[in-house]
Structure 1
């Protein structure tokens, strides 16, 4: 199963605990095992553009579509057997301690 793992900041969070592993170790484990297949950090939300098509016209606005107090810092594409496996992997990511991780299962692409 494919999952989109969004890595989000949490401005209200002041971490008082250490993450289970450093980010370098998480990347090595997740990508080395083949469970993470793609991902990267994202540029600041101030550089985002939101696109909508309304009444046949494409409308572009500056900034993110997400609430301003939450910053999407990065993403990873996970290939896991099921949601439980994805949760286990995401729960070891350092931002699960310092921020927020959101997992979204993908619909299978039928071509």
Structure 2
């Protein structure tokens, strides 16, 4: 079964780190992805640009509106994602716990769903 790890980070925690500490997280995440790939678990993984690069689109009531950035009520924002193959939720959680960014952010583990056309 496929699971998505949604990575949430607070940029303020990284702002006080040295460049070498930030680089350490980048390298650790690249190593983590390489480990998942070697295990045959990695489906896809990508970081996201910070929220100031995002646009939120809505077409409520048939009216198109756009807003700079995402709607956020917390300090953490969606920073990236990893899609893996795992036996079940328990195994997916164990794999997510190995992610270096789990030390400073939070990782939401969510099973992917399959949509099928309804006749």
TM-score normalized with structure 1 length: 0.80
What residue in structure 2 maps to residue 110 of structure 1?
116
> Which structure would you say has the larger Rg?
2
Secondary structure of residue in 1 paired with 2:103:
helix
Larger helix fraction of residues: 2
1:73 match = 79
1:60-107 deviation digits (Å, cap 9, x = unpaired): 111113435112211111111111111011000001111111111111
| Larger proportion of strand | 1
Q: Which residue of 1 aligns with 2:64?
A: 58
Q: CA deviation at 1:30?
A: 0.9
RMSD, aligned CA:
2.2
> Structure 1: which 5+ residue stretches go unaligned?
none
User: What is the TM-score when the length of structure 2 is the normalising length?
Assistant: 0.76
